[in-house]
Amino acid sequence: MIGKDIIQKLPSPSFILDEEELFRSITGFTEALKEFFSDFTLCYSVKTNALPYLLNLVHSRDCFAEVVSADEYHLARQCGYRESRIIYNGPMKNKKTFLEAVMGGAIVNIETKRELKWLEELSKDNIYKVGLRLNINISRVSMEDADGGQDNSRFGFSDETSDFSDALSVIKKLPNVQLSGIHIHRTAHSRSVRFYKHSIEYACEIIRKYHLELDYLDIGGGFFGIFPEKPTYRDYVCAFREALYGYGLDTLRVIVEPGNALVASCFHYLSEVIDVKHVEKEKWFVTTDGSRNDVDPFFRKQNYLYDLYAEKDSPSVNEQIVSGCTCLENDRLFCIKNGPLLQLGDRILYRNVGAYTMSLSPLFIRFFPCVFAVKKNEIILVRGKWDAEEFLQKSIINN
Ligand SMILES: Cc1ncc(COP(=O)(O)O)c(C=O)c1O
């Protein structure tokens, strides 16, 4: 829990990582997996928040890293992950890291036809294992979760066409390559437990149809975190087991790749009021040194979880709109009706902002803010503010 003393002490704006909260999430997911499976891997989705200090903390708690590009692959390696503790997904692999990962014993889930070609370059003196991503159409596998136009997917090999069976044939023809797993990451809008159950059942049908003998099923990510009235880690994992048990496949190694469910709740964002303007009879604009860019890079959220830290009493006003500091007119975060007017120096702490924020924020107007980690009574600066010096890296100004 981040206390008032910490809020007052830190420079604004900054992100704050609550280490205890992160560990609570990791332990919660691990315990749920342990209850239902003897063989499982909890793997953190690096794209969700690639802060190096975070990657190291997650590694220290025995999680693997799930990466989806050569850059993320190198980042994970530099943050201490051996190849055998990396899961390599997505279409953005390059040949060099793809072959290195397969040879180094990473779990590599093939996503594209070019990767199937690259397999031919593996040495013939060893046996290598790879996984294959299965295309999941939401309305095909779980009508109750259908969401319209984007139920089909750009990812994986489809069994609705010959793509999946063709990919299987390519792998079967290579004497030094074995198919060891199926990857089925897909996020339905509902994030419902039912959707995962149905997707796993669909994967089991495919495994049965092609008589596949696998080591693992990689279920991907997309789970809710720790919100009341939403499914818990245990609810999801219990459904995985039920679905696999129905097909006699519950001894498979189960892999999960959560991002949001592990890191959303452990990050906070601190900002401070830098100006208050009276623009209409009943309306004030409160400008802060934070930005919607930092906590909502797509500018789509309807509401934010936040706490106000006001220093002095002030008169109540009809409507105040709390906004960010960029020059975007819609850099507006929330509206307070009939509350005390915020004053210069008052602080706002946005909660639950760890997922797809820091990894997606554009370097717009000013560069990345500081990131602090809080563990018990210690506060550590884990990434300094980026300024022009960091922005200029690898650039030339003139020739
Ligand atoms: C392959 C894969 N695995 C895991 C994740 C993590 O998803 P989430 O952060 O919703 O858990 C993603 C997100 O896009 C993904 O593409």
pLDDT at 147: 86
**Is residue 256 located within the same domain as residue 282?**
no
In a domain, 239, yes or no: yes
In a domain, 384, yes or no: yes
Among the atoms of ligand 1, which is closest to the Cα of residue 89? 1
Give the position of tokens 């934070």.
290
**What is the spatial distance between Cα 272 and Cα 221, in angstroms, rounded to a whole number?**
34
In a domain, 398, yes or no: no
pLDDT at 311: 82
Among the atoms of ligand 1, which is closest to the Cα of residue 259? 9
Which residue range is the domain that position 347 belongs to?
A: 4-14+266-391
HSE (side-chain half, CA atoms, 13 Å) at 302: 0
**Is residue 254 located within the same domain as residue 298?**
no
pLDDT at 228: 83
**Is residue 359 located within the same domain as residue 252?**
no
Ligand 1 site, residue 48, Cβ cutoff 6 A = yes
The answer to whether 298 touches 53, Cβ cutoff 8 Å, is: no
**Is residue 241 located within the same domain as residue 283?**
no
Nearby residues of 86 by Cβ (< 8 Å), 6 or more positions away: 64, 65, 66, 67, 73, 76, 77, 101, 106, 107
The residues that bridge with 335 in the sheet, in sequence order, are: 321
Which of 263, 288, 306 is the last residue in one of the domains? 263
**What is the spatial distance between Cα 327 and Cα 318, in angstroms, rounded to a whole number?**
25
The answer to whether 275 touches 323, Cβ cutoff 8 Å, is: no
**What is the spatial distance between Cα 44 and Cα 25, in angstroms, rounded to a whole number?**
11
**What is the spatial distance between Cα 113 and Cα 229, in angstroms, rounded to a whole number?**
42
Maximal CA-CA distance, the chain: 80
**How many A from CA of 200 to the centre of ligand 1?**
16
Ligand 1 site, residue 16, Cβ cutoff 6 A = no
pLDDT at 362: 86
Which of 263, 284, 313 is the last residue in one of the domains? 263
In a domain, 32, yes or no: no
User: Could you tell me the CATH number of the domain that includes residue 167?
Assistant: 3.20.20.10
Ligand 1 site, residue 260, Cβ cutoff 6 A = yes
By most ligand atoms within 8 Å of CB, the mutation choice from 48, 86, 133, 182 for ligand 1 is: 48
In a domain, 27, yes or no: no
One-letter amino acid at 178 equals Q
**What is the spatial distance between Cα 64 and Cα 6, in angstroms, rounded to a whole number?**
31
Report the DSSP pairing between strands 253-256 and 216-220: parallel
φ/ψ (deg, to 5) at 53: -60, -40
**What is the spatial distance between Cα 216 and Cα 145, in angstroms, rounded to a whole number?**
25
pTM: 0.96
Which of 236, 263, 290 is the last residue in one of the domains? 263
In a domain, 396, yes or no: no
pLDDT in tens, the chain (399 residues): 788 888 999 999 999 999 999 999 999 999 999 999 999 999 999 999 999 999 999 999 999 999 999 999 999 999 999 999 999 999 999 999 999 999 999 999 999 999 999 999 999 999 999 999 999 999 999 999 998 888 999 999 999 999 999 999 999 999 999 999 999 999 999 999 999 999 999 999 999 999 999 999 999 999 998 788 899 999 999 999 999 999 999 999 999 999 999 999 999 999 999 999 999 999 999 999 999 999 999 999 999 999 999 988 899 999 999 999 999 999 999 999 999 999 999 999 999 999 999 999 889 999 999 999 999 889 999 999 999 999 999 999 998
**What is the spatial distance between Cα 190 and Cα 68, in angstroms, rounded to a whole number?**
24
In a domain, 25, yes or no: no
Ligand 1 site, residue 222, Cβ cutoff 6 A = yes
**How many A from CA of 152 to the centre of ligand 1?**
17
Q: Where are the alpha helices (DSSP H) in the chain?
A: 4-9, 19-36, 52-60, 70-78, 95-104, 113-118, 138-141, 163-173, 193-209, 233-245, 260-263, 292-295, 388-391
User: Could you tell me the CATH number of the domain that includes residue 339?
Assistant: 2.40.37.10
The residues that bridge with 316 in the sheet, in sequence order, are: 340
**Is residue 283 located within the same domain as residue 344?**
yes
**What is the spatial distance between Cα 131 and Cα 181, in angstroms, rounded to a whole number?**
4
In a domain, 19, yes or no: no
The structure tokens listed for 5 are 């003393």
Closest CA to 46 of 29, 69, 14, 16: 69
**Is residue 42 located within the same domain as residue 150?**
yes
**How many A from CA of 340 to the centre of ligand 1?**
41
**Is residue 89 located within the same domain as residue 210?**
yes
**Is residue 275 located within the same domain as residue 256?**
no
Establish whether the linkage from the previous residue to 340 is cis, with ω within 30° of 0.
no
pLDDT at 278: 97
**How many A from CA of 58 to the centre of ligand 1?**
16
pLDDT at 227: 81
